[in-house]
A = this chain, B = another copy of it.
């Protein structure tokens, strides 16, 4: 005779999620917060908008300090954060570094919001 599988009582089987159970785990939230930290600065938003507006899709670091009235080390610091967050791609050519948007990166951030 086959034994039927024993059904264990499930204490969390309710009509809805247990009150206040985090839909987003701690480690996942820590990861996702990093990209918003990168975006949480006016100068970094302006740098992204400059790079995005360039017809050829990239900006030389030498062209980015002037319009924001920031020193080049400060601009480089902000650009580094945007690169580390996966929003900008950096390519060194000769003397200068050139920055372009990582394709799909801003859409991915929008996707994080949609999936919260």
**Is there a chain B Cβ closer than 8 Å to A37's Cβ?**
yes
Stretch at the interface among A5-13, A53-61, A88-96: A53-61
**Chain A at the B interface: SS class:** helix
Contacting residues of chain A (102-116) with chain B, CB-CB under 8 angstroms: 106-107, 109-110, 113-114, 116
A4 at the B interface (CB under 8 A): no
Closest Cβ of chain B to A25, distance in Å, is 8
B16 touches A55 (CB 8 A): yes
In the complex, the answer to whether B29 meets A42 with C-beta atoms within 8 Å is: yes
Cross-chain contact A39 with B36 (CB below 8 angstroms): yes
B contact residues around A26 at 8 Å (CB): 42, 46
